[in-house]
Amino acid sequence: MKRKGDKLAHAAHVKRHTVGTSNEISFSVLDAARDALDERGRTDREARLPRFGSISLFTLPARRKKPAGTPTKEQGLPLSTGDFASVEPPKSQVPQIAYPSETPSAAPSAPSSSARSAATRPMSSEEASEKPIAQPAEKPPLSPEEEIARRKARRRLSKLVAVAAIALITGVVAVAGGGYLYHDYQQYQDGIMSLNDTLKLVAETDEAIKGLDDFVADPFSSGSRAACEDLRSSLPEVEEKLAQADERARALSVSLRESQGKEAAHQAVATISARNTLVDQGYQIIDAADRAYGAIDQARKAWDVLLSADALARESSELVKDTTPENVQASMTKANEALEAFEEAEASFAEVRSLYPAADFAAFSDYIAKRKEALGHALASDEAILAKDKDAATEHNDAYNAADAEAAERAKGLPDDPSSPVVDAFEAEVEECEKAYSTARLQAGAADAFISDYLGMEIK
């Protein structure tokens, strides 16, 4: 008995430095084996009488069993037939479960004739109710080594399942990520291509914008009128292209994710906005220049008429140096022609003011008025000479000389070019437009510089 206890203690002994080795026997394994044996022991005790001579290796000593009671003789009466009638109540039969023999050499005995007869006869309802239900045979508990091997196998299987799950998840993520990246890259490429197309569409307006720049710089240079007509016909197409490019650029500035492309789209929006400003201000300058062109033409016609009137007035004054009746009469004829020319010039300058109200032709009007005054005194003097009224002739001659001198003084204030008042009015009118145009041109130039660096080419 002592040796058997020593073996039990030796089997339950746990070495210290066995963590992670094949000799590891955890207390959880021992507890599992002990619980399995206790469970089977309880089941055996309920199903059958306890067996003697076996001691569980991993359980505590079994409880002391109560001693069996002393058997008593059954009470009853013997019958004349030889049978025995019992007066005691029937005892319930304890169901018995047949256990396999512990020794493999034991062979099952042949059934007796009484057992065969009992097996062949039909069972009564009471016997059927009292017959115990067969319990499924339980698997024998695993040994500690088998339990360890089972747990190791389960851990290995868990690791394999975990690795397989991780590999599967990784593969799914990789495929999904690859598809997303490919889709994102395809979208990026499509966005860059769309951006390039948009910038090319903007570049198609460069020629017209350059022509507009030259026109705004000098609207009255040679060839400016033809340029004005060309711009009027080309700017609507420029506006249409800028509208299409603006819609695309604004959409790309939102959809593009790459920083350089996104910034290029923003700069495209900036240059398109600046170019729209150039076109808007250019239209106002073109309209003002178009009106100025008509006023300038009319002013030059009025100037020519004025010069003609001055020439007639001088011819009239030259004729009266010799106050013969013929010369005086010819002088009066020239003076009347000069008056008609001055009135025509005055009407022409009035038409210029109607074409370009901002133009100031007051100096011309004052000069013409003084010239007409002088001619009036000349005609009165000529009439006095013909009437031989020397005093009246002298008085009107002195008035003529004073008015002519004053007209000559006013002529000094007249511009050399009669279109100057129109040009001055035009520059005053478009001054704010030119400032806005200059600011927009700088903005467009800065945006174009960034775009040219992005595209690797110069946008002119």
Please write the tens of the pLDDT for every residue from 191-212.
778 888 888 899 999 999 999 9
Lowest-confidence region among 144-148, 237-241, 265-269: 144-148
Closest listed residue to residue 36, CA positions, set 131, 128, 150: 150
Q: Is the separation of the CB atoms in 281 and 436 below 8 Å?
A: yes
Closest listed residue to residue 265, CA positions, set 318, 173, 197: 197
In this predicted structure, the answer to whether residue 108 has a pLDDT above a threshold of 50 is no
**85 bridge partner residues:** 77
Q: Are strands 76-78 and 84-86 parallel, antiparallel or unpaired?
A: antiparallel
Q: Is the separation of the CB atoms in 278 and 440 below 8 Å?
A: yes
In this predicted structure, the answer to whether residue 49 has a pLDDT above a threshold of 70 is no
SS3 76: strand
What average pLDDT does this structure show over 402-431?
A: 92
Residue positions counted in the chain: 460
What is the DSSP secondary structure assignment for residue 361, as one 8-state letter? Answer: -
- Distance (Å) of CA 163 to CA 150, 157, 384: 20, 10, 133
In this predicted structure, the answer to whether residue 29 has a pLDDT above a threshold of 90 is no
Question: Using CA atoms, how far apart are residues 370 and 405, in angstroms rounded to an integer?
Answer: 9
One-letter identity of residue 281: Q
Question: Using CA atoms, how far apart are residues 360 and 427, in angstroms rounded to an integer?
Answer: 13
Q: What is the pTM of this model?
A: 0.58
For the segment 335-354, what is each residue's pLDDT rounded down to a tens digit?
999 999 999 999 999 999 99
HSE, side-chain direction, 13 A CA sphere, residue 241: 22
